[in-house]
Amino acid sequence: MAASTSLLTISLGITNIYLIRGESIVLVDGGDKGKFTSFCKALEKNSIDPKEINLIVLTHTHWDHTGHLAEIVKLTGAKILVHAEESERLSQDIAVTPPGITGWGWFLVKTLLKGRMPSEFTKYHADIVMEGEDYSLADWGIEGKIIHTPGHSPGSISVVLEDGAAFVGDMAMNIFPLRLSPGMPIFAECPEKITASWDRILSAGAKQIYPAHGKNFPIEKLKRDLPKIY
């Protein structure tokens, strides 16, 4: 990471959330439900004042990324940013489980993930609805931008920093049992848009990929799925 930017990864349930610190702190995603205590402990361990977190960027609004929004907003006072394609889902409590787009993805949806979705959700009204294709983080003291990267969901967005760190939500996965190695999502609502969105992520200068599920990895490890990087 650049000298002016630091990064903290916090695992909440099956989902990673990321704290990007520049002049202020931007939080990427809200994690799976039931792990708020772990979030608070991680802040305390790293001497982070919750009030330093000014913005929460939702890469998308599936249940495992919004599980702790209510608690985190109450604790931090941060604003929520979501893409316009999914703001209605957030405000009207519309729950979606994306379909499998590979044989393994289809199997997991029908077995392991069946019944995993929480029965209750909390409605949220986003403070910032991203209408366009890009949103600069300069006003938040971060050298980078948010780009619209539909595929896993209609309103999926990715955060790409000037140093090449890319927080892509579920546009890539790197954890068992979802995948055995880094690769494309195995669940997607708009699979026909995945390739074009990865073109945008690459064009934005992505070098190190930070998925919501699994460890980060260099872009070169997507060689099989993105041969153009070579």
Residues in CB range of 179: below 8 A, 6 or more apart: 173, 186, 214
Rounded distance between C-alpha atoms, residue 119 and residue 142, angstroms: 36
Q: What is the pLDDT of residue 178?
A: 93
Query: CA-CA distance, 210 to 173, in Å (whole number)?
Result: 9
pLDDT at residue 218, rounded to an integer: 97
Give residue 73's identity as a one-letter amino acid code.
V
The share of the chain scoring above pLDDT 70, in percent, equals 93
Res 80: pLDDT: 96
**Residues 20-66: tens digit of each pLDDT:** 999 999 999 998 888 899 999 999 999 999 999 999 999 999 988 88
In sign, the C-alpha dihedral spanning 39, 44, 47, 52 is positive
**Domain 6-229 listed as CATH 3.60.15.10:** yes
Instruction: Region of 229 please: left (phi>0), alpha (psi -120 to 50) or beta.
Output: alpha
Are 145 and 160 in contact by the 8 Å Cβ rule? The answer is yes
**pTM of this structure:** 0.94
| DSSP label at residue 99 | P
What is the separation, in whole angstroms, between the first and last Cα of the chain? 23
**Which residue ranges in the chain fall short of pLDDT 50?**
1-3
- The reported pLDDT for the residue numbered 224 is 81
- Whole-Å CA distances, 161 to 3, 30, 39, 78, 176: 13, 20, 23, 20, 27
| Identity of the residue numbered 43 | L
